[in-house]
Amino acid sequence: MSAHSPGSAQPGDEAQDLLRALIRFNTVNPPGDERAAQEFLAARLAAAGFECELLGADPGRPNLIARLRATSPGGDVGAGPTLCYLGHVDTVLADPAEWTHDPWSGDLADGFIWGRGALDMKSQVAAEVAAGASLAREGWRPATGELLIVTVADEETGGELGAQWITQTHPEKVRCDMLINEGGGSVFEYSGRRCYGVCCAEKGVFRFTVTTDGIAGHASMPGMGDNALLKMAPVLQRLAQRQPAYRLTDEPRELLRGIGEDPDDPAGAIARLRAADPRLAIMFEAMLGVTFTPTRIRASEKVNVIPSRAELRIDCRVPPGLGESEVRAGIAEVLGEDGFRIDFTERVVGNRSPMRTALMREVSTWIAEHDPGAEVVPFMLPGFSDSRHFRAAFPECVAYGFCPHSHQTLMSSAPLIHGADERIDVRDLSLAASFFRDLAVRVLS
Ligand SMILES: [Zn+2]
């Protein structure tokens, strides 16, 4: 393993130019409209030596697959691993009235690049493309295996035209052994430690409806009928009071250990985290088990009719490895057993990649070199990313969320993602570009 990349190019400058250009393509999804941004990236990568293809179900919303194969004598694509850098080029919407800089300006000001997608995740795409393009232009090629850069459309609304489509429709084109995507890498500090989260696991989604029944009646006489909506009051009260008991899976156990806490005392760990930084406690607590969040309620169709039925929707997130039986246990624990009915509307089991792998060692070694004394710790994403589709399609693939940011911390980035004034510290963009360059060289040389 060499610690040095060939050549002396600084891919950070190229990543800055790419990011500013990418932000200026308005790819708010819906409608997404990603084609122009994808063609722009394809042109850059093709000029550097990548084989590029644009494939999609919707002509206006293609996915880009860019491939750099081994060409050295004896080098054989089949013999080595495929390392894939994954990103999405669509973004959520933005209201310019709430921003200091126009969200599609790509302005460079005060050491930051500003705009929608500056963190989620045009920055990582720009760093990945700058890394790959600069290596390819210098003549670097994998000794064995191949480097894939895949930028997809349609992540923000679930990936139906993006990662899900490409892994199901053209699995042979995006098959990979190792994958780096979004979901981790911003530094955080806790009790004297500097840590970088590597996202190894993503929660599943088991949404359900709680229904109460009653008898309809005229609303002018409250005692008439039997009001199903009022029966939701105790249900909501219980949901406000508590969550299901913690059920720590391997990743949060390792995370707590990594930050110097005892995984056998999660309540104590969360209390100490809360005292140190309530935002850290909120983020980490969501990784520790099944969670219930009530989000919608409906009852009578008419204001003058006492409802005979009320329905409460619960957004329930479940660690990988756990499923409906753990959710039902949580319901019994939090809501009891009587007075309502439960119907599941979604049952998607979460997925994960192993924590102890060659890829993790490379990430960990790189961080140790670039931020001496800092450590990597495993994260579980309380939500999910496109990695889920790749893990589902390629069970052997090790997929992590990681893009190193050492200046802009986890706590300072989190509120900007999907929020106003999204921006990235240009030093972190350079750091990320160096990381993606070094990782490709180390894994594929
Ligand atoms: Zn994203």
What are the pLDDT tens digits along the chain (445 aa)?
333 444 445 789 999 999 999 999 999 999 999 999 999 999 999 999 999 999 999 999 999 999 999 986 555 555 789 999 999 999 999 999 999 999 999 999 999 999 999 999 999 999 999 999 999 999 999 999 999 999 999 999 988 999 999 999 999 999 999 999 999 999 999 999 999 999 999 999 999 999 999 999 999 999 999 999 999 999 999 999 999 999 999 999 999 999 999 999 999 999 999 999 999 999 999 999 999 999 999 999 999 999 999 999 999 999 999 999 999 999 999 999 999 999 999 999 999 999 999 999 999 999 999 999 999 999 999 999 999 999 999 999 999 999 999 999 999 999 999 999 999 999 999 999 999 999 999 999 9
Measure the CA dihedral 140/22/37/139, to 10°: -10
Ligand 1 centroid – CA 183 distance (Å): 8
Contact 172, 55 (CB under 8 A): no
**Quick one: pLDDT at residue 2?**
38
Ligand 1 centroid – CA 422 distance (Å): 13
DSSP for 347-412 reads: -B--EE--SSSHHHHHHHHHHHHHSTT-EEEEEEESS--THHHHHHH-TT-EEEE---BSSS-HHH
Ligand 1 centroid – CA 86 distance (Å): 11
**Quick one: pLDDT at residue 7?**
44
| Cα separation, 216 vs 307, whole angstroms | 5
| Cα separation, 252 vs 264, whole angstroms | 11
Ligand 1 centroid – CA 124 distance (Å): 10
| Cα separation, 40 vs 382, whole angstroms | 33
| Cα separation, 339 vs 37, whole angstroms | 53
Residues 6 or more apart whose CB falls under 8 angstroms from that of 20 comprise: 106, 108, 113, 115
Ligand 1 centroid – CA 155 distance (Å): 7
Ligand 1 centroid – CA 329 distance (Å): 32
**Quick one: pLDDT at residue 8?**
45
Omega into 372 within 30° of 0, i.e. cis?
A: no
Six-digit token string for 5? 């990349």
Number of C-beta neighbours around residue 63 at 10 A? 27
Helix H or strand E segment including 13: helix 11-24
Contact 86, 152 (CB under 8 A): yes
Contact 50, 149 (CB under 8 A): yes
| Cα separation, 403 vs 413, whole angstroms | 12
Omega into 31 within 30° of 0, i.e. cis?
A: yes
| Cα separation, 168 vs 63, whole angstroms | 13
Six-digit token string for 217? 């009646």
Ligand 1 centroid – CA 19 distance (Å): 15
Ligand 1 centroid – CA 16 distance (Å): 19
| Cα separation, 410 vs 188, whole angstroms | 6
| Cα separation, 259 vs 251, whole angstroms | 12
Omega into 287 within 30° of 0, i.e. cis?
A: no
Ligand 1 centroid – CA 15 distance (Å): 18
Contact 405, 428 (CB under 8 A): yes
Surrounding residues of ion ligand 1, Cβ less than 5 A:
120-121, 182
Tell me if the pTM is above 0.85: yes
Q: C-alpha distances in angstroms, 307 versus 231, 232, 301, 396?
A: 11, 12, 8, 51
Amino acid, single-letter form, for residue 207? R
Residues 6 or more apart whose CB falls under 8 angstroms from that of 204 comprise: 317, 318, 319, 320, 322, 323, 347, 348, 349, 350, 351, 384
